[in-house]
């Protein structure tokens, strides 16, 4: 397995973890413990602290994305250098979608760092919540990045039936359903 394959696999793992993280965040923000569905779950499931899982998945996702970034320039066939992550618009392949990946990473970093209790206390809950809304846009960016980027960096057309792309499409569907659920909750509880 080449370095670029490993980087792509880690990127996919990051996307799955980010999808889980965003869905958990939506559950937490919608008073999930009051729902009939939650009440019917076994006690072992209800004993889980979703906020802790949500926090851990954020750190895991951030770490995976960082590893994804670091590995890509280590493969000489990728033609990427670390400078391309500072100036993604000069990337040798699919610069627009590389830029989306970099922006998603920066947004994820900002959201995770502002969740640190010291920072959260300094900026206040209202500002923290407003920053946390960035997660929705981040989800869109990492889905588009994962769907459009050629995993071998050969600028091939998208194969929507490729197993990797099907995983991205599944994450996109789950996020869409979660976003609809969150929107309906907001409308209902105005």
pLDDT, tens only, 30-75: 988 888 888 898 999 889 899 999 999 999 999 999 999 999 999 9
Range of the domain at 106: 3-188
CB 88 within 8 A of CB 55: no
Q: What is the pLDDT of residue 106?
A: 95
The domain total for the chain is: 1
Phi, psi of 7 (to 5 degrees): -60, -40
* pTM to 2 decimal places: 0.92
- Which pLDDT belongs to residue 53? 95
Angle, alpha carbons 152-104-119 (nearest 5°): 145
The pLDDT tens digits along the chain (190 residues) read 689 999 999 999 999 999 999 999 999 999 888 888 888 989 998 898 999 999 999 999 999 999 999 999 999 888 999 999 999 999 999 999 999 999 999 999 999 999 988 999 999 989 999 999 999 999 999 999 999 999 888 889 999 999 999 999 999 999 999 999 999 999 998 7
Question: Cα separation of 99 and 159, whole Å?
Answer: 21
């Amino acid at each position: 397995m080449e370095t670029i394959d490993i980087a792509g696999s880690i990127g996919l793992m990051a996307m799955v973890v980010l999808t889980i993280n965003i869905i958990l965040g939506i559950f937490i923000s919608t008073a999930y413990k009051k729902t009939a569905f939650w009440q019917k779950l076994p006690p072992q499931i209800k004993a889980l602290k979703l906020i802790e899982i949500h926090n851990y998945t954020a750190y895991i996702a951030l770490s995976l994305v960082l590893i994804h970034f670091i590995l890509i320039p280590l493969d000489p066939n990728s033609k990427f250098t670390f400078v391309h992550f500072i100036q993604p618009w000069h990337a040798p392949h699919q610069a627009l979608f590389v830029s989306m990946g970099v922006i998603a990473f920066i947004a994820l970093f900002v959201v995770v760092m502002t969740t640190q209790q010291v920072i959260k206390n300094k900026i206040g809950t209202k500002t923290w919540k407003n920053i946390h809304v960035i997660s929705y846009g981040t989800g869109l960016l990492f889905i588009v990045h994962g769907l459009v980027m050629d995993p071998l960096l050969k600028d091939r057309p998208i194969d929507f039936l490729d197993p990797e792309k099907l995983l991205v499409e599944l994450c996109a569907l789950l996020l869409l359903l979660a976003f609809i659920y969150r929107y309906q909750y907001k409308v209902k509880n105005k």
